[in-house]
């Protein structure tokens, strides 16, 4: 995702063009809202010794117009763009035997800013290292302030927080943060990215060893040159082995 929204303002209202999965959107000099669907392969054709066909597949383009009152800040355009790019996915199922309550929010964020990531601490996949057998004990939350004006936000965890610290983007500790009644209060400078590492209280129940998602494709083998076979996104697993049949 390159740019999620462009806004065309008037005196007391505006309209934003929200995109999902397209590489570029812009407001031209004549106030035209432009949406670029895909990059061309003209450079590749001139410099590669084979004919690329990266665009020769089924494409789905999704975008939306978002009218709002006030300017883009008052209309909360960045929030609308993130909601459009990360729609709520609901799954209906029968009640299970688990110990979790019927209503639960793991992370509660109250105030300014936009949460862009919530993850276990560490980067084992970024360096292609094996995933450690021991589960991380910290939760990392990253947020940013999109309007340019400083704000505040309160953060809490469903089992409670025991400690918190501000980190840099590499999750290296910077300084300890104080908790008040189990809530972390954060000051968000304008346009800043803030990352915090949280020590959370144990839930007191066994949540089970289930995987949150698949690590490899369910069907093997898969196309290495997936773009030539209308096979959708790249396969999982970094394609460690490629086999060419001539």
Contact 145, 113 (CB under 8 A): yes
Strands 24-27 and 161-167: unpaired
pLDDT, position 1: 34
pTM of the model: 0.73
CA–CA distance, 167 with 60 (Å, rounded to integer): 38
Contact 171, 122 (CB under 8 A): yes
**Count, residues in the chain:** 246
Which helix or strand (DSSP H or E) is residue 186 part of? strand 183-188
CA–CA distance, 142 with 170 (Å, rounded to integer): 11
pLDDT tens digits for the chain (246 residues)?
A: 335 566 656 678 888 889 888 887 888 888 888 888 876 665 555 555 656 555 667 778 899 999 999 999 999 999 999 999 998 888 888 877 777 777 888 899 999 999 999 998 887 666 666 666 666 678 999 999 999 999 999 999 999 999 999 999 989 899 999 999 989 999 999 999 999 999 998 877 666 666 666 766 676 667 777 767 776 667 766 566 666 666
Neighbours of 153 (CB within 10 A): 19
pLDDT, position 2: 39
Locus of tokens 């462009």 = 6
């Amino acid at each position: 995702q390159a740019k999620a929204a462009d806004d065309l303002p008037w005196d007391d209202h505006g309209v934003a063009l929200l995109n999902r999965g397209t590489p570029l959107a812009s407001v031209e000099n004549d106030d035209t809202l432009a949406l670029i669907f895909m990059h061309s392969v003209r450079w590749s054709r001139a410099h590669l010794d084979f004919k690329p066909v990266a665009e020769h597949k089924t494409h789905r383009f999704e975008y939306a117009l978002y009218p709002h009152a006030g300017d883009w800040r008052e209309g909360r355009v960045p929030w609308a763009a993130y909601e459009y790019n990360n729609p709520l996915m609901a799954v209906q199922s029968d009640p299970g035997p688990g110990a979790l309550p019927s209503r639960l929010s793991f992370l509660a964020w109250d105030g300014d800013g936009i949460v862009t990531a919530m993850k276990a601490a560490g980067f084992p996949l970024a360096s292609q290292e094996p995933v450690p057998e021991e589960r991380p004990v910290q939760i990392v939350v990253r947020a940013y302030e999109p309007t340019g004006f400083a704000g505040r936000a309160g953060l809490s965890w469903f089992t409670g927080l025991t400690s918190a610290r501000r980190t840099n983007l590499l999750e290296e500790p910077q300084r300890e943060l104080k908790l008040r009644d189990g809530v972390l209060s954060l000051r968000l400078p304008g346009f800043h990215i803030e990352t915090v590492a949280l020590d959370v209280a144990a839930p007191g129940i066994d949540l089970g060893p289930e995987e949150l998602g698949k690590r490899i494709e369910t069907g093997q083998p898969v196309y290495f040159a997936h773009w030539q076979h209308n096979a959708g996104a790249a396969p999982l697993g970094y394609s460690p082995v490629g086999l060419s049949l001539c």
